[in-house]
Amino acid sequence: MNKTVDVLIIGASASGLMCAIEAGKRGRNVVVLDHANKAGKKILMSGGGRCNFTNMDISADNYISHNPHFCKSALSRYTQWDFIALVCDYNIPYHERSHGQLFCDDSAKDILNMLLSECAHAGVDIRLNCSIENIHKENDRYIINTSLDDYSAESVVIASGGLSIPKMGATGFGYNIAKRFGHTVHPTTAGLVPFTLQPDDKAWLAELSGIAIECVVSNKRNSFRENILLTHRGLSGPAILQISSYWHAGETLSINLLPDVDIETLLKTKQQTQAKTHLKTILAEHLPKRFIAALLDEQLLNQPLQSISHDRFKTISKQLHQWQIKPNSTEGYRTAEVTLGGVNCDELSSKTMESNYSTGLYFVGEVVDVTGWLGGYNFQWAWSSGWCAGQVV
Ligand code: FDA
């Protein structure tokens, strides 16, 4: 015997819980199913355990999608200020970090507990450890067969996220359902992910593991100024994660290691005023010594400025302002924060997230082809898209 519900949501995390809260508040009978043993696992692991839950400065420019306009409606209907107001209602302490990023002072648990508490007030039933076996449509209702119960629902919301961090329960479930109901899915790749290096670069850079440098990292499509972090596996840090979402395999990155200094001019000036000073002494005022020693020729570094030609200064400047690095690959979904690509936005309503092909079917959050930058943008998309669907399901 099917259990009859108004709204069945698959995925008990950021977007699914937000949708459930809103639908529940409207008096809808809502069930949320998740195959994980705990709701909101990605919320708990986010922002290093402090959840970067939104950003002070949200716009469509912070998102990547084949349809760059799609996210605008949802982001303007449920904004960062709406989410911040909810966080304030719960007296959750938070702070702002660089680039407008908002983090919990204490723990990401505060955000998850807030969502679960809102769900409880709205009468939402969350059922975990539940495998979804089949979904089909019969006479305008969806029949969902699961390992726990079989359901008949007027609306089904797919909030099952992307492919990043499979060990946390990420699956391609949402993409498969989308295709089954006639949708196209833009090819997916790992985003906000560290790079692995070619063997030659890995050999010398691995030795420098732990060094962080504020840089501007660029490719043909974008440029980010933040830290890069050298790790024993390759390159990481916020600037690297950001550019990774714009990187195409085989492409070389250009890294300005000294964004605030014109090193060629500086070296020429110092040649006049500190002629006997070694090159390495000047460079060490701007970059970690170990990094310089590994990047540049040892003999050159030990020369006094007076014995170095202007042509050589130009070469050094190019090495430091346009350090070229060709990643081997990315670390993939294993460590990626997000999945690029997903359910084609052109086939969904930007106001409600409803499928253009199957009335009563909705896609929210990361499963949709909307991917945010690092900085709280992905959660804001999950809140906004979940909220929009929650108004109509
Ligand atoms: P999400 O992936 O959160 O949830 C999907 C749910 O569906 C999961 O509970 C899963 O178990 C369930 N599910 C999947 N397949 C299923 C199936 N077959 N059957 C049943 N259930 C299924 N973003 C940000 O803005 N600020 C931040 O600080 C961070 N930090 C961060 C750190 C790390 C390590 C990662 C991996 C990611 C982030 N992110 C982030 C990204 C952010 O976590 C992500 O964009 C949102 O959680 C997406 O929310 P969704 O609800 O769409 O999917």
* Mean pLDDT score, 293-306: 96
What's the longest Cα–Cα distance across the chain? Answer: 88
Q: Is the CB of 52 under 6 A from ligand 1?
A: yes
CA torsion angle 171 175 177 182 (round to 10)? -170
CA-CA distance, 336 to 194, in Å (whole number)? 7
Nearest Cα neighbor of 384 from 353, 356, 346, 360 is 353
* CA 43 to ligand 1 center in whole angstroms: 7
Q: What is the pLDDT of residue 194?
A: 98
Q: Is the pLDDT of residue 18 over 90?
A: yes
* CA 76 to ligand 1 center in whole angstroms: 22
CA-CA distance, 14 to 123, in Å (whole number)? 17
Q: Residue 391 carries which DSSP code? A: T
CA-CA distance, 385 to 372, in Å (whole number)? 13
Q: What is the pLDDT of residue 366?
A: 98
Nearest Cα neighbor of 366 from 160, 79, 67 is 160
* CA 215 to ligand 1 center in whole angstroms: 29
Q: What is the pLDDT of residue 63?
A: 98
Instruction: Looking at the CA of residue 386, tell me the nearest atom of ligand 1.
Output: 51
Mean pLDDT taken over the chain: 97
Q: Is the CB of 238 under 6 A from ligand 1?
A: no
* CA 14 to ligand 1 center in whole angstroms: 7
Q: Is the CB of 338 under 6 A from ligand 1?
A: yes
Burial class from Cβ neighbours inside 10 Å (0-12, 13-18, 19+) for residue 336 reads: buried
* CA 108 to ligand 1 center in whole angstroms: 13
Confidence of residue 168 (pLDDT cuts 50, 70, 90): confident
The 3-class SS string of 206-262 reads HHHCCCEEEEEEECCCCEEEEEEEECCCEEECHHHHHHHCCCCCCCCEEEECCCCCC
Pocket residue to mutate for ligand 1, from 46, 101, 149, most atoms within 8 A of Cβ = 46
Q: pLDDT tens-digit profile of 182-196?
A: 999 999 999 999 999
Q: What is the pLDDT of residue 1?
A: 84
Q: Is the CB of 45 under 6 A from ligand 1?
A: yes
* Mean pLDDT score, 246-271: 97
Q: Is the CB of 80 under 6 A from ligand 1?
A: no
Q: What is the pLDDT of residue 165?
A: 94
Confidence of residue 235 (pLDDT cuts 50, 70, 90): very high
Paired strand residues for 281 = none
Q: pLDDT tens-digit profile of 118-163?
A: 999 999 999 999 999 999 999 999 999 999 999 999 999 999 999 9
Paired strand residues for 151 = 3, 144
Nearest Cα neighbor of 36 from 132, 120, 117, 177 is 132
| Number of neighbours of residue 293 by Cβ within 10 angstroms | 15
CA-CA distance, 241 to 218, in Å (whole number)? 12
DSSP per position, 284-310: TTTS-HHHHHHHS-HHHHTSBGGGS-H
Q: What is the pLDDT of residue 264?
A: 98
The bridge status of strand 253-256 relative to strand 323-325 is: antiparallel
- Indicate which residue's Cα is closest to atom 36 of ligand 1: 337
- Indicate which residue's Cα is closest to atom 46 of ligand 1: 379
Confidence of residue 245 (pLDDT cuts 50, 70, 90): very high
Confidence of residue 98 (pLDDT cuts 50, 70, 90): very high
Q: Is the CB of 365 under 6 A from ligand 1?
A: yes
Burial class from Cβ neighbours inside 10 Å (0-12, 13-18, 19+) for residue 131 reads: exposed
Burial class from Cβ neighbours inside 10 Å (0-12, 13-18, 19+) for residue 134 reads: exposed
Pocket residue to mutate for ligand 1, from 9, 119, 160, most atoms within 8 A of Cβ = 160
CA-CA distance, 336 to 67, in Å (whole number)? 22
- Give counts: helices (H), strands (E), the chain: 14, 21
Q: Is the pLDDT of residue 169 over 90?
A: no
Rounded to two decimals, the pTM is 0.97
Q: Is the CB of 375 under 6 A from ligand 1?
A: no
DSSP per position, 87-113: HHHTT--EEE-GGGEEEESS-THHHHH
* CA 46 to ligand 1 center in whole angstroms: 9
- Indicate which residue's Cα is closest to atom 29 of ligand 1: 46
Nearest Cα neighbor of 214 from 195, 233, 239, 191 is 239
- Indicate which residue's Cα is closest to atom 48 of ligand 1: 366
Tokens (6 digits) for 237: 């840090």
Q: What percent of the chain has pLDDT over 90?
A: 98
In this structure, are residues 245 and 373 in contact, taking their beta carbons and an 8 Å threshold?
yes
Confidence of residue 375 (pLDDT cuts 50, 70, 90): very high
Q: pLDDT tens-digit profile of 40-79?
A: 999 999 999 999 999 999 999 999 999 999 999 999 999 9
